[in-house]
Structure 1
Amino acid sequence: MKIGKEASHPSHPQHRLRLEYTEIPFNCDGCKEAGIGLKYRCRQCEFDLHKVCAEARSTFTHHFYKKCEFHFYNLPPGPDKRRCDACQDGVLGFVYHCRRCGFDLHPCCADLPRVLDDGEHNLYLSVNRLSTPCHCCGGKGPGWSYRTRCSTYNLHVSCVKELLVESWQTMYLNVDKNKAKELQTRIPSLKGTLRNHHKGRGGYVGKCCQMASGAVRVVVSAILGDPTAIIAAVVGGFISKQ
């Protein structure tokens, strides 16, 4: 893969976009979700696209929904609010939609790897309801999850995204514009967020925070659109910072 290669995209016809690598979180102007790692960027307009969003296919089938045909849309179809069936978050921009079944997937969610290695365990992506509680929320609710083969560890994709959003909101919320650029060079910590998230939830605190050095790191990096070892290490840095 050649960093610096250029491409055109219909969502930003004014200029060509250049493939870049960043360890600074960004907001994708396509799907409106957070990103890190590889992205296509217009430096003139500060327009960013996840690599996955910039290279989205017009149609595809997913191994979880083999009878569905997903079509790519720049905006969610229809008048009703739509929700991604993987992470349970609202759809605000680019989306894959199955016209027959009504399923929706963010491009990065559609591209989530089926297997992640946290350094100690393999984590397998599953669409089935959890048989044992999620180590973040303590529940067995709907949505995709990563789990070990033995189901000792379970993490909802939605819960990991919630932890990420909580951490970044803490860092960026109510910050004046003069400080915004300074904060762009800092990646916020998830460690405190993990502990605060678990107040009053007993034994799950230790288990989830113990997982933070591995499982949460690789799941966050995958959700952000770049599940590479390099980005997982960067994400591990803001998970473990005091």
Structure 2
Amino acid sequence: MKYNEISHFSHPQHKLKFEHIEVPFKCDGCKEVGIGSRYKCSTCDFDLHMHCALPTPTLTHPFYTKCSFQFLPKPPGDTPRFCNACEKDVLGFVYHCKPCGFDLHPCCAKLPMMLDDGEVKLYLYRKVSSSCLRCGRKGRSWSYRSTCKRYNLHVACVKEMLVESWHEIYFRRNNNSTNNYYNGSRRLETRIPSLQGTLQTHHNRGKGKVKKCGEMAGLAVQIVIAAVLGDPTSLIAGVIGLLLSRA
């Protein structure tokens, strides 16, 4: 369910308004990167993912059939915690199973079990035996794998690509003027550096095959990035397409 304006316990000063702008942001709830749909307070520059703004009080997950996850505004206890889906630190809003001690970022907890844009279908697995397109390793975190089993990408690797580029994305955006931003600098600001080359290193049997595989792998990555950033209903092609533009 989507509301154009909401009140939220994490920001009682002002109401938050729904907006969809194709610019990266950092969620002030879970402290993770987001893009596209969000709830925002323009006065305070306060942003929340959809999943953080309208959380489910309790949820279950197919990977943890015996668990009941409770939504919490901050990690429980005093020890550092990490997300069991992406292996990244939990620094804000979290879904926590007290008996088992498992934690999930809100966006990770709501990752679709299947992503389909009409050309590529990817299914979410807790672990797969295939090598990741980005790191070349097997196992590790949750992964999305295509039905043909040729394209596999760790959720953790997508997060790492975003974290590695966040400094560049954020500071380029803030150091450029608004006019320059909307007149073309945004093509630089929303790019994940060297992503295209990274994907192609694992598929180098021939120029034609490399090109085709790179295109399909790139499409798979676009779908996964949209989901991990908290907006799986939109590929946000105008932005995500640029992530593969650097040769």
User: Shorter-chain TM-score category?
Assistant: 0.7 to 0.9
Q: How many residues align?
A: 236
Q: Which runs of 5+ in 1 are unaligned?
A: none
Shift of 1:211: 3.7
Indicate the percent of aligned positions where both proteins have the same amino acid: 52
Residue 83 of structure 1 is matched in structure 2 by 82
- After TM superposition, the structure 1 stretch with the greater mean CA deviation from structure 2, 136-145 or 98-107, is 136-145
Structure 1 residues 156-179: Cα deviation after superposition (integer angstroms, max 9, x where no partner): 111112122223334446x69644
2:191 pairs with 189, 192, 202, which one? 189
Corresponding residue number in structure 2 for 1:240: 244
1:147 corresponding residue in structure 2: 145
Per the TM alignment, residue 46 of structure 1 is displaced from its structure 2 partner at its CA by 1.0
5 Å matches for 1:14-93?
14-93=13-92
Tell me by how many angstroms 1:241 deviates: 2.7
Contact 1:26 1:35 in 2 (8 A): yes
Partner of 1:135: 133
Instruction: Confirm or deny that 1:223 pairs with 2:223.
Output: no
- Contact 1:116–1:123 (CA under 8 A) maintained in structure 2: yes
Shift of 1:62: 1.2
Kindly indicate whether residue 125 of structure 2 is the aligned counterpart of residue 126 of structure 1. Answer: yes
SS of residue in 2 equivalent to 1:86: coil
* SS in structure 2 at match of 1:166: helix
Q: What per-residue deviation string (whole Å, max 9, x for no partner) do you get for residues 21-74 of structure 1?
A: 110111100000011111111111111101110001221111211110101111
Question: TM-score, normalized by length of structure 1?
Answer: 0.86
* Conserved? CA contact 1:108–1:225, under 8 Å: yes
1:180–1:54 distance in 2 versus 1, CA, 3 Å: farther
Cα distance change, pair 204–77 in 1 and its aligned pair in 2 (3 A): farther
Q: Determine the structure 2 residue equivalent to 1:94.
A: 93
Structure 2 unaligned blocks of 5 or more: none
State the distance in 2 between where 1:221 and 1:11 align: 25
SS in 2 for 1:12: coil
**Pairwise CA distance, 1:192:** 2.0
Whichever residue aligns with residue 17 of structure 2, its letter is R
Deviation of 1:198 after TM superposition, in Å, equals 6.6
